[in-house]
């Protein structure tokens, strides 16, 4: 017997059973292809809510105009709702000789009534300080022009006399020398706001300063300089009052059409003498014709009142209600804010 080994017989692998595939019924072949076609057409067709025969360009135009209207309406709402920002010039307290503590410092402040009167129409009030770009302690590049650019209007409040030096005269008495430093500060403020097209309302001293700012002069003391003049200041202060009249055709006559004359407080010993350039009279005191209100004609709103409207509400209903003047000033501020 041979030693040669006979290899085992290997059976071929048994194939795995395959799942039975059901035969496709001929009646369903057409249905499947119809559904696929409908899906394709649905994906390619525009939404049924669009207009018939609409074009991509027409739709794009409508989208753009809708976006524009939305942005325009929002901008309009923001424009109308933005709170006005009104600046008020500072009163200045100069150090007293030999004083110590706070009285030895330069102080700048607001009289409360003027701030509250302006804020009564829901506006923001900012006191505008003097600036000194060459100061040694705290130099700054900020100028009064920046305030005129960012605020919407200016109120020049009352206070110390305007210096006769500011309108090229000498003081006839030492006590009438006024506040030259404040004059220079407020004159710069006045012209910056006028140049920026912003409205200005001057109260008492502010009225006089507007006249001087455009080349006018003042009576240094009404009692001394105007023969037969009525008393325009006494110890009653804001309770002292007199009647004014509005010239026909003046702005104030238009604001108060039913008031041929009105009662105002009187707290001033100086007043407008020679009118400045393009300045017209808006009110006179009854009897002695002292100028009680002025307007600069070459601006939307630059007006000066010799009385104090901020004191009128507390003075009784017989005093002139000056809210129409305030409202006119604030409307001008809204219209010229940019």
Active site residues: 204, 308, 310
H-run or E-run covering 279: strand 279-285
**How many whole angstroms separate alpha carbon 172 and alpha carbon 157?**
25
Q: Which residue has the tokens 């709702």?
A: 81
202 burial via Cβ count (<10 Å: 0-12, 13-18, 19+): buried
**How many whole angstroms separate alpha carbon 120 and alpha carbon 325?**
13
Burial 51-64 (b: 16+ CB within 10 A, else e): eeeeeeeeeeeeee
76 burial via Cβ count (<10 Å: 0-12, 13-18, 19+): exposed
> Phi first, then psi: what are they for 152, rounded to 5°?
-100, -15
At residue 188, the 3 state secondary structure works out as helix
Q: Side by side, which strands form the sheet with 261-265?
A: 124-128, 85-89, 153-156, 200-203, 302-305, 291-296, 279-285, 241-245, 261-265
For residue 275, give both structure tokens: 């009118």
Q: Which positions ≥6 away from 144 have C-beta within 8 Å?
A: 128, 131, 185, 188, 189, 192
Q: Do the beta carbons of residue 89 and residue 157 sit within 8 Å?
A: yes
**How many whole angstroms separate alpha carbon 244 and alpha carbon 24?**
107
């Amino acid at each position: 017997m041979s030693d040669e080994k006979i290899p085992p017989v290997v059976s071929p692998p048994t194939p795995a059973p395959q799942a039975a595939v059901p035969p496709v019924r001929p009646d369903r072949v057409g249905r499947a292809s119809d559904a696929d076609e409908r899906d394709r057409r649905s994906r390619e067709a525009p939404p049924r809510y669009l207009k018939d025969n609409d074009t991509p360009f027409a739709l794009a135009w409508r989208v753009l105009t809708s976006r524009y209207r939305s942005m325009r309406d929002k901008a309009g709402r923001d424009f109308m709702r933005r709170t006005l920002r009104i600046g008020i010039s500072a009163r200045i307290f100069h150090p007293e000789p030999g004083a110590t503590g706070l009285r030895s410092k330069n102080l700048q402040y607001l009289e409360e009534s003027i701030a509250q009167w302006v804020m009564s129409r829901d506006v923001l009030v900012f006191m505008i300080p003097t600036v000194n770009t060459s100061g040694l302690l705290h130099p700054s590049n900020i100028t009064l022009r920046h305030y005129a650019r960012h605020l919407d209007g200016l109120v020049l409040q009352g206070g110390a006399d305007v210096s006769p030096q500011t309108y090229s005269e000498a003081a006839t008495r030492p006590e009438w020398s006024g506040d030259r430093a404040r004059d220079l500060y407020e004159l710069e403020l006045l012209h910056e706001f006028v140049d920026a097209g912003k409205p200005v309302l001057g109260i008492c001293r502010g009225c006089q300063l507007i006249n001087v700012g455009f080349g006018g002069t003042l009576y240094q003391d009404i009692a001394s300089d105007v023969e037969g003049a009525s008393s325009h200041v006494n110890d009653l202060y804001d309770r002292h009052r007199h009647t004014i009249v509005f010239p026909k055709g003046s702005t104030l006559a238009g604001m108060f059409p039913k008031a041929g004359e009105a009662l105002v407080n009187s707290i001033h010993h100086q007043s407008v003498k020679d009118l400045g350039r393009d300045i017209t009279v808006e009110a006179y005191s009854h009897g002695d014709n002292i100028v009680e209100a002025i307007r600069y004609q070459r601006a939307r709103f630059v007006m000066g009142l010799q009385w104090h409207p901020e004191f009128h509400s507390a003075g009784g209903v017989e005093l002139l209600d000056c809210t129409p003047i305030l409202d006119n000033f604030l409307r001008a501020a809204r219209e010229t804010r940019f």
